[in-house]
Amino acid sequence: MSLIQPRTLKGFRDYLPEAMMPREWIIDTARRVYRSYGFKPIDTPALEYLEILTGKGSDETDKQLYRFEDHGGRMVGMRFDLTVPLARFVAQHQQELGLPFKRYHVATVWRGENTQAGRYREFMQCDFDTIGVTELTADIEMVLVLSDLFTQLGIDKLTIRVNHRAVLNGMLEKLGLADRSAAVLRALDKFSKIKEQGVVEELQRTAQATASQSEQLLALAILEGTNDQILSKLGELVRGNATGECGVAELSDLNQAALAAGVPASRLKLDPSIARGLDYYTGIVVETQLEELPDFGSVASGGRYDNLASLYTNQMLPGVGAALGLDRLLGALEKLGRLPNVQSPAPVFLCMFDPKHRNDYLKLAAQLRAVGLGVEVYPEPKKLGKQLQYADKQGFRAALIIGDAEFTAGQCQVKDLQTANSTNVPYDGADAAAIAAELRRLLAE
């Protein structure tokens, strides 16, 4: 009989333990940070009625949508982000939820687009949003959460780029290009990639902008300097246009607030060229960029939308939030060689030194687990060197060694696997407190 070839679909991946360990670490970190700001967990189905998903978004997301007819003849689609399901969720449950509603959502999404490094067809997002708040406080908090999150992830070389849609829209109104905003924003958004010349060409080609209009739009995108300098120049560019002036004022406010709340000045960068593709953003927009991999793409982004759920309810439900792209961040960290090679979820390794003491080892492991220490007992009485080699490769922090000599002396050898130093601790089989104390001291380092 012929075997079926084991394989996975394009853009879909298996996750081995060495990949899952850092994955879960990032997810745990994101959850912890989100919760510390009062965001609450929710979940929604992977499948939605097709009209829920196709109503919003652009032609592009419609194209990427996984869709099919289910067993009951319903047309269904797999969610391609967590924001559209959130809109439906809030519209459906607004009576129970109350406002403001702050939620986080860590889940898998699917997009049938072409793959590339850090771009997959099945990937995970870690979203957080505040619904029902128009005050800038929520926008400021979004920036604080992002900053906190990356700090907790040990990533310092980070740029959070911030812009305001109203600044762009004000400029477009002033130039009489408001009806072509999508094409214009797309062109501006590419500024970092195709530079001045490319943007001008694209503006004239896709948005039919005149040379003069292009020049003025470009003036917006190429602004450089400190945030204060950029704000003052932006103010000049949009002067006389209420929309634009309002946007600049909010950007200024957010900038000061974030700095006051402790976001490092080097992290926050006003960037008039970022627009974000999604149509539903209406206010502040943010993107984050790893300084060491500027071309890798945004690892987290978001913004404000003032009418997200308008398709599903007449109630005005403004919101602001962002998504951490888990798989893209992991891809970036891997490229930078910054993923720790720890495969063991338990920090303590107990050697099977002598098989006749097996029950003693299992008992000691149980005693340590009872006080909250993760312990793996090696299952075979292999040579000690082999066991230690395994423990080292798996990333254990400490090894416990007890042979006849130790049992006779009433001791247990606690070995630090990072420094190779050993300490002998009293152990008589009845009480593992001394071992636990030594292990805790070691793990705290």
Partner RNA sequence: GUGGCUGUAGCUCAAUUGGCAGAGCGCCAGAUUGUGAUUCUGGAGGUCGUGGGUUCGAUCCCCAUCAGCCACCCCA
Q: CB neighbours of 227 closer than 8 A, spacing ≥ 6?
A: 255, 265, 268, 269, 270
In this structure, what DSSP letter does residue 2 have?
Answer: P
Distance CA 413, CA 376 (A): 16
Contact call for residue 341 and RNA (CB under 7 A): no
Contact call for residue 441 and RNA (CB under 7 A): no
- Rounded to the nearest whole angstrom, what is the least distance from the CB of residue 235 to RNA in the complex? 28
Contact by Cβ (8 Å): 417, 396: yes
Among 129, 141, 406, 438, which residue sits at the site for RNA (rule: CB under 7 A)? 406
Nearer Cβ to RNA (60/179): 60
Q: Which two structure tokens, joined as six digits, stand for 339?
A: 């993923």
Is the CA virtual torsion 116, 118, 124, 125 positive or negative?
Answer: negative
Annotate 424-440 with DSSP letters as a single string: EEE--SS--HHHHHHHH
Among 236, 359, 379, 383, which residue sits at the site for RNA (rule: CB under 7 A)? 383
Among 172, 388, 400, 432, which residue sits at the site for RNA (rule: CB under 7 A)? 388
Contact by Cβ (8 Å): 351, 25: no
CA proximity to 350, closest of 369, 371, 367, 365 = 365
Q: Which stretch binds RNA (CB under 7 A): 35-43, 86-94, 275-283, 310-318?
A: 275-283
Distance CA 237, CA 167 (A): 9
Contact by Cβ (8 Å): 300, 30: no
- Rounded to the nearest whole angstrom, what is the least distance from the CB of residue 368 to RNA in the complex? 19
Nearer Cβ to RNA (267/276): 276
What x/- string results for residues 412 through 431 when contact with RNA is judged by CB under 7 A? -x-xxxxxx-x---------
Nearer Cβ to RNA (171/188): 188
- Rounded to the nearest whole angstrom, what is the least distance from the CB of residue 349 to RNA in the complex? 10
- Rounded to the nearest whole angstrom, what is the least distance from the CB of residue 1 to RNA in the complex? 14
Residue with tokens 């992290």: 267
Among 105, 276, 304, 357, which residue sits at the site for RNA (rule: CB under 7 A)? 276
Contact by Cβ (8 Å): 427, 374: no
- Rounded to the nearest whole angstrom, what is the least distance from the CB of residue 181 to RNA in the complex? 13
Beta-carbon count within 10 A of 2 CB: 4
Q: Which stretch binds RNA (CB under 7 A): 88-96, 338-346, 400-408, 429-437?
A: 400-408
Contact call for residue 186 and RNA (CB under 7 A): yes
Contact by Cβ (8 Å): 296, 118: yes
Among 22, 77, 85, 118, which residue sits at the site for RNA (rule: CB under 7 A)? 118
Under rule CB under 7 A, how many of the chain's residues touch RNA?
66
Residue with tokens 């850092």: 22
Applying CB under 7 A, the residues found at the interface with RNA are: 5, 7, 9-13, 58, 60, 81, 111, 113-121, 123, 125, 186, 189-190, 193, 276-278, 287, 295, 297-301, 323, 325, 327-329, 353, 382-386, 388-393, 401, 403-406, 413, 415-420, 422
